[in-house]
């Protein structure tokens, strides 16, 4: 199993998500405020992690929004919006004989589900935007732009979404949506690690939250280790831009290659938390020896199958209007949100490692040196 597939499974993107606790999405200051006519927007999902910022941004710009979901996750989040209850697995009746200007599909993981919904909606919408993932690519030991080969699966009838199937199934979802909607009315957005308030995965969040404690802290790969992320609000802004302009095409939603490192994240975490951290940088060899790969979120060895995991081109998205806020703003929003969470939520955080494990690894590193 490729480690990138495992990481995305850990993200909980295939399960229920924790909403942003009602916190407002912060509009990016540089957003193009050109007026567009109000749109009737259908969101398939809308109440998990990435959906609420998209809904709020669409509403902020004067559009009307209808939600379609099972009504199980954060079903009181938007009490004033029409919510059509249904199930993508077989109950789409509420969508029949209805018309919308555009669809935002951020809950499609099974090709059959995406095929059925896009086929039903195709005659009644002008534009369909599908949220995919950078995990669709076939190889992660090379730089990937939107034209790179995609992952495949031998049995295309498989519907179990797991570490082996996630990327290939998302690629099939893209293919089915393209067939039903047509490439000229379809936008496909492939985000990398999505970060910000409401993130239930605790991957990026791990580092600033752990840094708040100060003291000795393990960091993987070295200060120059590069990562690619996307702020959930930047993703929302870009998605609403695309639906307003009915932008067709495929876009990697990432920050620029080489623009953010673990050293930058360390600096941002210290600044936002007003704390001093003593970073202990451990290398790939030590992490492998200690079988500690799973202890470090958003980290991949610099050699092997995932050597270019953070080598996704974002040029097409930036040309189409994607703007990336300074990551320190993401860290600041994260920590503000983190302070609103319950003790139970914090106690059950899906962090990279426990305090005890970190202490043991630090001791092993120091004894090795």
144 beta partners: 312
Helix (H, G, I), strand (E, B) or coil at 305: coil
Closest-CA residue to 19 (of 81, 73, 72)? 73
Averaged pLDDT for residues 92-121: 97
For residue 24 the two structure tokens come to: 């407002």
276 Rama sector, left if φ>0, alpha if ψ -120 to 50, beta otherwise? beta
Q: At 195, list the tokens.
A: 């970060």
Q: How far apart are CA 198 and CA 333, in angstroms?
A: 10
Sequence spans of domains, the chain: 3-368
Structure confidence by residue, pLDDT tens digits, 163-207: 889 999 999 999 999 999 999 999 999 999 999 999 999 999 999
Q: How many CB atoms lie within 10 A of CB 163?
A: 16
Residue 318 and residue 252: Cα distance in Å, rounded? 9
Give the pLDDT band of residue 12 (cuts 50, 70, 90): very low
Query: Taking residues 337-344, what's their average pLDDT?
Result: 96
Of 195 and 73, the structure prediction assigns the larger pLDDT to: 195
Give the containing element (helix H, strand E) for 113.
helix 111-121
- Mean pLDDT (the chain, rounded): 90
Per-residue model confidence (pLDDT) at position 323 = 97
Residues 315, 301, 346, 70: is their CA dihedral positive or negative?
A: positive
CATH architecture of 3-368: 3-Layer(aba) Sandwich (3.40)
Buried b (16+ CB within 10 A) or exposed e, 256-295: ebeebbbbbbbbbbbebbeeebeeebbebebbeebebeeb
- Check whether 329 has a pLDDT greater than 70: yes
């Amino acid at each position: 199993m490729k480690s990138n597939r495992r990481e995305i499974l850990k993200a909980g993107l295939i399960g229920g998500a924790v909403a942003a606790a009602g916190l407002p999405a912060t509009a990016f200051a540089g957003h193009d405020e050109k007026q567009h006519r109000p749109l009737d927007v259908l969101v398939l999902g809308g109440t998990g992690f990435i959906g609420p910022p998209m809904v709020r941004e669409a509403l902020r710009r004067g559009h009307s929004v209808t939600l379609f979901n099972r009504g199980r996750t954060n079903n009181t989040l938007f009490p004033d919006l029409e919510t059509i209850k249904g199930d993508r697995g077989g109950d789409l009746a509420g969508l029949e004989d209805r018309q919308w200007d555009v669809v935002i599909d951020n809950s499609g993981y099974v090709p059959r589900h995406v095929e059925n919904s896009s086929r039903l909606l195709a005659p009644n919408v002008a534009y369909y935007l599908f949220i995919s993932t950078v995990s669709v690519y076939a190889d992660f030991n090379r730089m990937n732009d939107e034209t790179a080969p995609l992952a495949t699966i031998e049995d295309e009838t498989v519907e179990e979404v797991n570490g082996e199937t996630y990327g290939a199934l998302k690629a099939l979802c893209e293919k089915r949506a393209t067939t039903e909607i047509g490439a000229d009315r379809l936008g496909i957005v492939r985000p990398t690690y999505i970060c910000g308030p409401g993130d239930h995965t605790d991957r990026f969040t791990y580092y600033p939250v752990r840094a708040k404690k100060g003291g000795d802290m393990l960091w993987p790969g070295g200060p120059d280790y590069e990562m690619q992320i996307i702020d959930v609000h930047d993703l929302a802004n870009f998605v609403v831009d695309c639906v307003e302009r009915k932008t067709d095409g495929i876009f990697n939603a990432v920050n620029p290659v080489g623009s953010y490192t673990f050293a930058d994240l360390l600096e941002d975490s210290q600044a936002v938390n007003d704390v001093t951290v003593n970073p202990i940088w451990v290398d790939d060899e030590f992490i492998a020896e200690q079988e500690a790969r799973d202890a470090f979120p958003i980290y991949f060895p610099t050699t092997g199958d995932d050597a270019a995991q953070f080598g996704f081109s974002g040029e097409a998205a930036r040309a189409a209007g994607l703007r990336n806020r300074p990551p320190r703003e993401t860290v600041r929003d994260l920590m503000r949100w983190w302070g609103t969470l319950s003790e139970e939520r914090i106690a059950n955080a899906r962090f990279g490692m426990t305090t005890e494990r970190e202490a043991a690894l630090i001791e092993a590193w120091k004894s090795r040196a």
